Amino acid sequence: MLAQALRSRSGDVKHVERLVALNGIVSSALTALNTNSAALRVVSNNVANLNTDGYARRRVDQQALVVGGQLSGVDISDITRVIDKYLQQETLSSTSGTARYDAQSGVWSQVNALLGSPGDGTALTSRLNGVFSALGQAALSPASSTNQLGVLNSLQSLASAVSTLSSSISNVQTQVDRQVSSTVDEANALIKQIYGYNAQIQQATASGDQASGLLDNRDTAVGKLAELMDVRTSEQPNGQLTVMTIDGMNLVSDSYAQLSYTPATSAGAYGPITVQDTNAASGAAIGTPQAFDQHLSGGKLKGLLDMRDHALGDLQLELGSFARQTALSLNAQANANAAFPPPASLDGRDTGLLASDALNFSGKTTVAVADANGNLVRRVDIDFGAGTLSVDGGAAVSLGSTIGSFTAALNSALSANGTAGFSDGQLSIAATGANGIVVQDDATTPSNRGGTGFSQFFGLNDIFHASVPSVLATGLSASDASGLAAGGKMDFTLKGPNGEIAKTASVTVTAGMTIGNVVTALNTAFGGAATFSLGSDGSLAMTPATAYANYQLNVTGDTTARGTTGASFTELFGLGVQQARAQANGFSVNPDLMASTQRLAVGQPSIASTTVAGDSIVSHGDGRGALALQDLANTRQSFVKVGALSAQTATLSDFATSFYQDVATRSAAATTEHTAQSDRLLEAQSRQGQVSGVNLDEELSNMMTFQQAYSAGARMLQVVQQLYDTLLQIQ
């Protein structure tokens, strides 16, 4: 009986052991079902996102499930996004490079559409050639009103082309500046979005989700931000992504940065983009704003700033240099010429001078009154060196030492034959009756103030006008009164090639300041960052310190005015890049010329010390002045370094050609760089796609593998069910 009981007991134990073994198999089979079911979901998500931009495929990593040291089936060790960090950063970098040059190419397309080609009738070179051609015709038949009208039309055509082009480039700059503002807003939205994703991903990571779909959304946002600016990223263990500029300025971390920019109210007066960290919890700003421009190395924002501040700004400087040199050369010759019949009056430009300013002229000149036939009526010989004048070779009379005293002496000398007046910076000389005014410099010792002759300095017979003076050698000295009302203020920034602000400075005028005092105040305000010096010719030069060699002076505000002239201090001396660019603004033909073709000075005066009343000093049919103007086509002018053009001695036409060449070179360079960066981006995306992209064949293969594993697990459960049934039938 005992033996039989033991055998029965032993059978029960084995039966239980078999049941336990089957339970283990069931557990393993269930892990196979669960694991491969999850793997199949990952594969299906991969396939579903086959064409989703920014999606990185997920990879399922499996491992043996161990419980208590015993194998208990299979488990998923991790579901990971398949990415290559190097290729990811390379894609971001090439995205920024492509966007930078794409922005530049777009703006260059607008500029090229404005310019016309050097060989067509709309280009500056064509308009300039038209002027010299018309002057050649006028020289052949000076008295022809048709030829005179042809000259004026060609001059107007050139002036209009310069002014229109300057205005158009300024408009493009304004458009680009507005794009800068909207791009800053777009960047701020993306930075906040990335910060928001960071917070959500941190929560997902804390709960064990290493492959959240938020990661793809965040990468997409980072990619869009990279289109706007060059960025680099660093992923933290908690899932947070740190985003910064290439040189390390924070954009997204525990806080996020916000950019700020106010569009300029006028072309050229651009402030910096600033950046400041923000406390996400309170929304309060952290620290003080910093200039952001210099931290940009790529992206659309960099491309726009390059075009606005450099390319377009340089073109304005080059165009301004062309306009100024054209005005100086043609005006100089026109003021040496004479019209027939002589004009009844010569009204000068606003020189910015005051009647109390020192005369500061040297050399000799003659102001004559002639009748309608060009015969001398009265001759006033002025010897600035001696400080005297004489009438018709008579006794010398003192000029005095100021602009006002000279004007009074000239007015007295003209007597009943004419008048001279100086008001609001303008000199006017008029003849009485049907007579006219003729001015001629001495051939041996011509008049000179700051390197410019008497007639041209005052602009008595100018051809071209602009919104700012072309004559910047004022002839003023340090001891001259500034003429500026107390309280007027000048504001400046010294700005670097990448938007760096080296120095901001302000000078407020106090009562009784001399020109020298103002220059001293400028040097004090800049504290060595730049040095201002007044030349012997009355020009004011600004020289940046060695550390700021390529920096430019920007005038951000000037409320000063010299007496009643309306000329500000910076305008008078041409300070700041805005003044240099403005040489082409409002470039136009003297309205007096446009009102009367007969005022066109195509002849030359003939006044000698022996000329007496009744002698001819201007003759009908004299074309020497027109020939002299035409000769300027082949006269080499001195151009200073400006924009991208080096200092050179060239004809006006050659310089205009250089201007077009600069546009063509820069435009082609932007196109080439855009092509290179686009190719780089395509290659990076292709390689990234090979690593991170969804391969349909690979996913189908994985699907079959996981399905088979799932089927095997299901088959195991089926077999176990059969074994359970069999065991339960055993008694």
Instruction: Yes or no: say if 583 and 468 are a contact pair by the CB < 8 Å rule.
Output: yes
CATH 2.60.40 fits domain 340-460: yes
Confidence band of 18 (pLDDT split at 50, 70, 90): low
Mean pLDDT of 135-145: 92
Instruction: Read off the pLDDT of residues 460-489 as tens digits, 9 standing for 90 and up.
Output: 999 999 989 999 999 999 999 999 999 999
Question: How far apart are the C-alpha atoms of 650 and 484, rounded to whole Å?
Answer: 38
Sign of CA dihedral 150, 155, 158, 161: negative
pLDDT at 731 > cutoff 70: no
Domain residues of the chain, as ranges? Answer: 2-82+693-729, 340-460, 489-573
pLDDT at 614 > cutoff 60: yes
Instruction: Read off the pLDDT of residues 147-195 as tens digits, 9 standing for 90 and up.
Output: 999 999 999 999 999 999 999 999 999 999 999 999 999 999 999 999 9
Pairing, β 364-370 against β 501-508:
unpaired
Instruction: Yes or no: say if 597 and 152 are a contact pair by the CB < 8 Å rule.
Output: yes
| pLDDT at residue 2, rounded to an integer | 39
DSSP state of 373: T
Buried b / exposed e over 42-58, threshold 16 CB at 10 Å, is bbebbeebeeeebbbbb
Question: How far apart are the C-alpha atoms of 527 and 21, rounded to whole Å?
Answer: 90
| pLDDT at residue 229, rounded to an integer | 95
Instruction: Read off the pLDDT of residues 551-609 as tens digits, 9 standing for 90 and up.
Output: 999 998 999 999 999 999 999 999 999 898 899 988 999 999 999 888 999 999 999 99
Confidence band of 501 (pLDDT split at 50, 70, 90): confident
| pLDDT at residue 671, rounded to an integer | 94
Mean per-residue pLDDT over the chain, rounded: 89
Mean pLDDT of 421-441: 97
Mean pLDDT of 490-499: 90
DSSP state of 375: B
Label residue 369 left, alpha or beta by phi (over 0 means left) and psi (-120 to 50 means alpha). beta
Question: How far apart are the C-alpha atoms of 567 and 363, rounded to whole Å?
Answer: 27
Instruction: Read off the pLDDT of residues 395-405 as tens digits, 9 standing for 90 and up.
Output: 999 999 999 99
Q: Which helix (H) or strand (E) holds 86?
A: helix 85-115
Model-level pTM?
Answer: 0.86
Instruction: Read off the pLDDT of residues 540-552 as tens digits, 9 standing for 90 and up.
Output: 999 999 999 989 9
Label residue 287 left, alpha or beta by phi (over 0 means left) and psi (-120 to 50 means alpha). left
Please state the three-class secondary structure of 95-139 as a single string.
HHHHHHHHHHHHHHHHHHHHHCCCCCCCCHHHHHHHHHHHHHHHH
